[in-house]
Amino acid sequence: MIEIRHKTTDEVLLSVDADTLEGVDLRGVNLTGARLQQAMLERARLRGASLLGVNLFGADLAGADLTGTNMRSANLFGANLQEANLTGADLRGADLYGANLAGADLQDADLVAVNLTRADLRGANLAGANLESAWLEGAKLTDAKLAGASMAGALYNNMTEWSEGVNPSDYSAVLISTEEPEDWTVHAR
């Protein structure tokens, strides 16, 4: 039996009759404010779940189905979301510093004011995604699909990696620095 608890009140939000959360079916479940740091949620089915403000620091969500989830203000610092499906997910204000989103599907996702500093988005599908005011400093966006993506006011620096031929100013992204910061932690939200 696994108990998922609230990050501040320690209240049990959900009990799962399983030995692991890998591949678990939590579609449509309300886990607002849950404490799931370092959780092993590979291939978990979380479609339509409410993960508002959840702590998923360092969690493994590789291959998870997060379609249409509400993950506003979630802590996904260093999380593994490789090949995850985040189509239409609401991640406004989330912290994805250093997260692995390589090959993830973020089509039509709301990524307004998301911290993607040093995130790996190589080969990710960002078609139609809203990245307005996102932090992209040092992010890896090579081979990412950007058709129809909105990046007005997104901040990037000379450490941000783009596919050959991509001009971030064509997306209204803003170059903020031409020097690598001495201390990356200063830039983490």
pLDDT recorded at residue 128? 98
pLDDT recorded at residue 183? 58
Structural domain containing residue 134 = 1-189
Across 105-122, average pLDDT: 98
Q: Is the pLDDT of residue 181 over 80?
A: no
Q: Is the pLDDT of residue 187 over 60?
A: no
pLDDT recorded at residue 118? 98
Q: What is the tens place of the pLDDT at every residue in 41-100?
A: 999 999 999 999 999 999 999 999 999 999 999 999 999 999 999 999 999 999 999 999
pLDDT recorded at residue 189? 47
Instruction: Look up the CATH number of the domain holding residue 130.
Output: 2.160.20.80
Determine the Cα–Cα distance for residues 125 and 79; give it in Å rounded to an integer. 18
Q: Is the pLDDT of residue 188 over 80?
A: no
Q: What is the tens place of the pLDDT at every residue in 120-162?
A: 999 999 999 999 999 999 999 999 999 999 999 999 999 999 9
* Of 22-36, 50-64, 114-128, 172-186, minimum mean pLDDT range: 172-186
Determine the Cα–Cα distance for residues 105 and 163; give it in Å rounded to an integer. 17
The pTM assigned to this predicted structure is: 0.91
DSSP 107-163: TT-B-TT-B-TT-B-TT-B-TT-B-TT-B-TT-EETT-B-TT-B-TT-EEETT-EE-
Q: What is the tens place of the pLDDT at every residue in 86-108?
A: 999 999 999 999 999 999 999 99
Parallel/antiparallel/unpaired status of strands 155-157 and 2-5: unpaired
Q: Coil, helix or strand for 2?
A: strand
Give the count of domains, the chain. Answer: 1
Provide CB contacts within 8 A for 181, sequence distance 6+.
Answer: 137, 187
